[in-house]
Amino acid sequence: MKESTVLTDRRLEALLGQILRAGVLIAAAVVLAGGVLYLAKYGGQAPHYGIFRGEVSDLRYVSEIFRDAVAWHARGLIQFGLLILIATPIARVAFSVAAFAAEKDWLYVATTLIVLAILIYSLASS
């Protein structure tokens, strides 16, 4: 293996690690902010365990979650943080496609694109 390739591989691994670390930290910060807002607003209320209420409709779709998060609604922020957490490994795979393409490693590009397509399909179909 050439020395320049080793450095490139190490740099790629470091960048992928930074993407994962940043995604998790950002997601945690957004969920924490939503949790603090939620407790500030609803923390004093007694829970009603006898009545089940499903998730409200405005937190079932990405566009609605984004709208609630931008409006600083507590539940919207929590859901948005979870979406960021889910998107983090997907961003890592997408970055890997670009990195493998830059190295002209077409077998890995094809394999990683298949993995990316499966991830996106599984999210979109649920």
pLDDT tens-digit profile of 36-95? 999 999 888 887 788 877 767 778 788 889 999 999 999 999 999 999 999 999 999 999
Cα 118 from Cα 89, distance rounded (Å): 13
Contact 109, 100 (CB under 8 A): yes
Residue 117 counted as domain residue: yes
pLDDT at res. 7 = 46
Residue 102 counted as domain residue: yes
Q: Give the dihedral sign, CA 14/17/114/98.
A: negative
pLDDT at res. 49 = 80
What is the count of structural domains for the chain? Answer: 1
Q: Which domain holds residue 118?
A: 3-42+55-125
Determine what percent of the chain is predicted with pLDDT higher than 70: 93
Long-range contacts of 74-80 (CB under 8 A, 24+ apart): 74/34, 74/35, 74/37, 74/38, 74/40, 74/41, 74/42, 75/34, 75/38, 76/34, 77/30, 77/31, 77/33, 77/34, 77/37, 78/30, 78/31, 78/34, 78/35, 78/38, 79/34, 80/30, 80/34
pLDDT at res. 59 = 80
pLDDT in tens, 2-31: 555 554 778 888 888 999 999 999 999 999
Residue 48 counted as domain residue: no
Residue 47 counted as domain residue: no
pLDDT at res. 111 = 96
pTM of the model: 0.78
pLDDT in tens, 92-124: 999 999 888 888 889 999 999 999 999 989 887
pLDDT at res. 103 = 85
Residue 98 counted as domain residue: yes
> Helix 3-42 vs helix 74-102: angle between axes, to the nearest 10 degrees?
170
6, 30, 23, 14: which is closest to 80 by C-alpha?
30
| pLDDT greater than 60 at residue 1 | no
Residue 50 counted as domain residue: no
Residue 72 falls in which region: left (phi positive, over 0), alpha (psi -120 to 50) or beta: left
